[in-house]
Amino acid sequence: MDTNSNYLAKELARLGIDVFYLSSVGDNLTRIQDAIRIAASRSDLIILTGGLGPTDDDLTKQALSNVLGLPLYEEAKEVARLNNFFKKRGVKMSLNNLRQALIPQGAIILENAIGTASGIIVNKDEKYFILLPGPPSEMKHVFEKQVKPWLKANISTSRDYLHSHTLKFIGISESRLNFEIEDILNNNANPTVALLAKNGEIHCRLTAKVKSQWEFEMLIDPVKKEILERVGQYYYGDDDISLEQIIGKMLTEKNLTLVTAESCTGGMIAQRITSIPGSSEYFLGSIVAYANSVKENILNVPREILSNYGAVSKETALAMAEEVKKVLKSDLGLAITGIAGPGGGTEEKPVGLIYIALVGYNINVCKKYIFTGTRNDIRWRSSTWALNLLRRSIEEL
């Protein structure tokens, strides 16, 4: 998946730089050269990612050098940087890494502080060529630290730029959200409003072309207000904030601790919660009780509940939540049990049947859901709705 182009297109739009074409080409010198010529024939700014490594199939700089007629030379500062990079890691540098010190004549070097391949900027015949490393983490680092400031200073000054603001919803379908705000979706030219279906969530993106952040906020505020007046009960946050971050903030503010007991999700809820730095302040631990023997012997779920109602039931989910809260000594216990598939379902208990329970601190609730999709879809949606049940319950405290 070409995540680099996706990232760059969004970032360039925010700088007021319109992206008209995306091209992919394999590691072949002739075809890369052809792709560069085509790009230069129709665009003023061409960004290339990848092909800056030390191996024989890393051909981007050579291709650009051939097309522009700019010789490559070995840059002494790049040689020193590479030597230092490997020395710090206690690794001997291979001679082929010196290929990464070859720079087209007249290029601006974009130092890569977290990898071996520096980026470069070349200006030839009023065309700008920016070469970035291929690994996404390195590409983003070089773009943020080096390219973005250069673009702001040299390319995007005084341009209108695209800015987006995303509203995030859980508990409402895309079709229902579309129905509730259909007139808003159809009547706005600037800002535009679009719905994006995520796995377990629906995102509503407001986008406008503006000259300033202030202008953007003035344009979107009344639209956002109208949307939230209609469907605000399903809204949980904006832009890059995650459900896990919202929950962490809420638990911290209310000075509550949380533990989980997971069956069908296999620890996914705990993983998502602990992905947030500082989560040890409110998350104590988890028990992955996949087998009934673990539910009974570790979680202390009564045998008669498992026998009478089955592992996938409201009664078992509530018992799991109550017992994990006791075993791990927490304020809240969140539990989940279900059938993720693709097998294991029956007419009475189909694949996708999920029970999510939360107990403690005056909360005692269990919700039943039936999700569709692949095994991974069901597991992810289940974890999302479990986190949302937690969020909604804490809100009501």
Q: What is the pLDDT of residue 34?
A: 98
Question: Which tokens go with 99?
Answer: 């290929």
Question: Whole-prediction pTM value?
Answer: 0.75
Residue 227 exposed, middle or buried by CB count within 10 Å (0-12, 13-18, 19+)? buried
For tokens 């029956």, the residue is 346
Q: CATH for 243-395?
A: 3.90.950.20
Which residues of the chain have a pLDDT value below 70?
156-159
Per-domain residue ranges for the chain? 3-154, 161-238, 243-395
**Which pLDDT tens digit goes with each residue over 145-203?**
999 999 988 886 666 778 889 999 999 999 999 999 999 999 878 899 999 998 889 99
Main-chain dihedrals φ then ψ at residue 16, nearest 5 degrees:
80, 15
Q: In this predicted model, what pLDDT tens digit does every residue of 18-28 receive, in sequence order?
A: 889 999 999 99
161-238 domain in CATH 3.30.70.2860? yes
**Beta carbons within 10 angstroms of residue 378's beta carbon:** 27
Ramachandran quadrant class, 361 (left: phi over 0; alpha: psi -120 to 50; beta: rest): left
The reply to whether domains 3-154 and 161-238 share a CATH topology is no
Number of neighbours of residue 349 by Cβ within 10 angstroms = 16
Q: Report whether 227 contacts 183 (CB < 8 A).
A: no
**pLDDT score, position 184:** 94
Residues 187-237 pLDDT 10s: 878 899 999 998 889 999 999 988 888 999 999 999 999 999 999 999 999
Estimate to the nearest angstrom the gap between the alpha carbon of 372 and the chain centroid.
Answer: 22
User: Domain 3-154 maps to which CATH number in 3.40.50.10880, 1.10.3370.10, 3.40.980.10, 3.40.50.150?
Assistant: 3.40.980.10
